[in-house]
């Protein structure tokens, strides 16, 4: 199962397309059911399972649609922290040389 995200430029929505790996089947509709008051997520199973490489495709397509992690962690957050650290180091080195 592949799940691909795409931004709808005419709205504030991201569309999700679910296709079988061979491209012969597509999810047409997801049905919601009432689970009652006080139900926990524990007994509720996933709607679908996807392989890790397909999950990576989903993340990549969400990124391409303009979505980013909200907490700033992960590779993007780590890169930003490294860039700030390098800038601090440059400032200390060049300030020490009188440049």
Task: Read off the pLDDT of residues 58-75 as tens digits, 9 standing for 90 and up.
Answer: 999 998 888 887 775 566
Spatial distance between the Cα atoms of 55 and 1, rounded to a whole number of angstroms: 10
> Within this chain, do residues 59 and 96 fall inside the same structural domain, yes or no?
no
Least confident of 7-16, 31-40, 50-59: 31-40
Task: Read off the pLDDT of residues 10-33 as tens digits, 9 standing for 90 and up.
Answer: 888 888 888 888 889 998 888 887
Q: Residues with Cβ < 8 Å from 69, sequence gap 6 or more?
A: 76, 77
Do the Cβ atoms of 68 and 14 come closer than 8 Å? no
Spatial distance between the Cα atoms of 61 and 64, rounded to a whole number of angstroms: 5
> Within this chain, do residues 56 and 35 fall inside the same structural domain, yes or no?
yes
Residue 60: per-residue pLDDT: 92
> Within this chain, do residues 95 and 51 fall inside the same structural domain, yes or no?
no
Domain residue limits at 91 = 71-99
pTM for the whole structure: 0.54
> Within this chain, do residues 9 and 24 fall inside the same structural domain, yes or no?
yes
> Within this chain, do residues 51 and 95 fall inside the same structural domain, yes or no?
no
Quickly list H helices, the chain.
52-64, 74-96
| Domains in the chain, number | 2
Residue 73: per-residue pLDDT: 57
């Amino acid at each position: 199962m592949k799940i691909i995200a795409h931004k709808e430029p005419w709205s504030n929505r991201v569309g999700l397309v679910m296709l079988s790996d061979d491209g012969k089947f597509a999810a047409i509709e997801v049905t919601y059911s009432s689970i009652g008051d006080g139900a926990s997520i524990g007994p509720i199973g996933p709607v679908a399972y996807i392989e890790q490489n397909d999950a990576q495709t989903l993340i990549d397509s969400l990124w391409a649609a303009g979505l980013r992690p909200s907490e700033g962690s992960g590779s993007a957050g780590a890169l930003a922290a490294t860039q700030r650290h390098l800038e601090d180091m440059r400032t200390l080195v060049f300030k020490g040389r009188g440049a």
